[in-house]
Structure 1
Amino acid sequence: MSFKADKQTLEDLNLTGKFKPNSIYQLFSRIKTTGGERLLEQMFQQPLTDPDAINHRSATFRYFQEQRLTFPFSSSDVQAAENYLTMSGAAGLPSILRKRLNAFLHDEEYEQLRKGLMATLHLLRTFKSFLQQLNNYEEAALWRQVLSDLTWLSNVKELSVWTIAYYDRQLRHRLSAQMEQLLQGIYQLDVYIAVSDVARQRGFHYATALPASRNIFHTTGLRHPALDAGIANAISLDSRSNVIFLTGANMAGKSTLMKSFGIALYLGHMGFPVAAANMEFSVRDGLYSSINVPDNLNMGYSHFYAEVLRVKQVATEVSSGKNLVVIFDELFKGTNVKDAYDATLAVTTAFARYSNCFFLISTHIIEVGQALQTHANLQFTYLPTLLDGAKPRYTYRLTEGITSDRHGMTIIENEQILELLES
């Protein structure tokens, strides 16, 4: 079973999408090969739920980060070898013998085959040399074994028609499965080197995955991976304290913090480096968020009704007994303040009873937090807004308690909106 995050969650956190601006996928996509891109997309689409598998992948990324290796293949060489190894048509000596030698030497198909074979041989020699740097990487043993069976590889220089026919038959027929293994190995190296380079350059760390029964999440330094100078915050959750109730003024950083949390959890389940320090987490069954829920004109849904349906969907999943993480940013902001207060209070109280799940819930209706203070399993935190004279300043540092900041009118006055209208 794989970790589940639905389309809404992926869009809220801007996780996937090769061509989406500032997506987390794009952040890590320094890939050189098309096969590497496919592998990276697969990792993003299928996060893991087995802690051993997660920790093994994390250890692999850490190994490549420590080795500081450079991907040794050009994208054109890899593409040429891929094209050659998947060429259609007959290969090898029997097909060649069916042609007269003089005609064959000027045959366009033959020239294509020759160039593809030469590119593939160059790729294999480069691979064999590069493997000397991977002494402590267990998967390299399989690749070494395959390449060691090609004893003629290092002796290939000028190729006659007959040697081309022989090598072509070896690589594209007898050893086709082994060639596929080596290509997959090159794609793996592409991803491991590219992702670990990003981790080193951006100061990311590696999380430790724990069994679901431990039911904890902990980090001392969480930040958003796309921000070069993001403020780090500590977050801890467990079954006795499974809800973080977050308050703060608009622009104080609530949404960014919530996205940072969701992204770290998702990347952690992928075994990827995270923008968090000392992070350990119990594996979850999935992640759901409600941050930018749109209305639906085709269905006739208002923004508020779309929010209600989203909460209902999450409630269905939570009540089924799954171990989930849920992020609600500004619940029921599509309705009036009184209804939003009542609904946020009731929904938060109901969700909090599911101690096997973790919840991060934000609101700017601070009275809800005050009404929830009798619940022992809720953590109350806020992001402060400070005033330098009449100008607001945001620390982005998580603080214990419930905010008392009410600076909305100050911001409106600073922008001189009323003066504009009166003039």
Structure 2
Amino acid sequence: MDISGSINAILGELMMGKYMLCGKKIVTVSHLGTIENGAVVVEEGKIIDVGTWDRLEKKYPAIKLIDCSDFVITPSLVDCHTHLLEFAPTSLYPDAPINHFVAGKELLFDALSSGITALGEQICGHPQCDFSVNDYRNAIKDMPIDISFATTSISIGFDELTHFSALTQSKSIDRKTLNDLSLVRLIAQASDYPGENIFINATPANFTANEVPRAGEIVYTLEELKKIVDIYHQSGKQIGTHVAGEEAIDMALEAGFDVLHHAHGISDALIEKVSEQKVRVVATPIGGTHLMPNSPGDILKLMDNKIPVSISTDSYLPPFQGTSWLPFQDTELKGPKELMLIAQPAMHLLKKQHYNENEILAVLTANPAEILGKEKHFGKIEVGMEANLLVAEGIPGLEITDVEKIKKVFYKGQQVVNRI
């Protein structure tokens, strides 16, 4: 036996960041399904092999082993609709512009600690924060988390509707400017993915009902929506929208939107139309519009109609009052650590309806990764994907909701959270 050669091989593997992670089972959310007593081989941040521990230990006898055989391995979580960097710091802290990004980074680490390694962040324009989308991009460059930015315009349902946009920043704009197609084109060009690029309905945001009496009011005409959608599509971009209520959802579908965020109040007939048009839905069971949010039954209907559903937090939000599926007894703002908790009722219902654990976990992994346009990078455990992984006491959302039960988080192969 060539001992020096074996030592050199081991040293070489360690230098390349090559290792094997084994678990009692791997829920891959891919064509591989669930692998009992499985293992994942990682090299330079990418998954290079997946299979049973018996097979892979023979194939890679000298590899560094991270033994997590008491735990479940899954893809890390993806929250494709958040407001962590723009609105959350001013909502949660006595924020001042000089400290805004300090607070934002703390919130990003909370997300990472909750098993979330990818986010879809909305930049809408904020009256207190005169930052550009590039300011946000530059502020998080060193963070071990993947962030896609949706540049948007926003309408808030005060007595007099108030409008902002990502490009006009802290300066409010009037309705004419909101529909200025040259501004729309610039917003489209700056956007990374189809977030809530426009608000068809005025939003209540985090204000109380008496402060936003016009929340839910439809802001655009159908012809205006069609022109905006055309601009995005001509720019080679998909477009998403904040939308709720049957009339507004029908307008969004007629105008050709690619992604519906919220879609609260959707009817069975509109669900069929969404399916026919291959439109995707980002469900927010905690709230986010003027209407009752997506119930577990709503999400089941969408899934039964072959609509890829992503469940998201819309962080930070107060829980919508009057729901039967949310466990919250307070109105405090909820964030990333509640993602598994708000998803669990729908995930349990899907299990009762005989969806398998890979299909169910996709609502927190593969489906939101596709919304972000990153489906070839993460959201599944298969060869060639980035090694964004969780080691946990159970399947996130389906079996566990406590972030403390997430024991390890890997981002591009690097361990970034460790609770063991």
TM-score in same-fold range (> 0.5): no
TM-score normalised by structure 2 residue count = 0.27
Higher strand share: 2
Work out which of the two has the higher radius of gyration on C-alpha atoms and give 1 or 2.
1
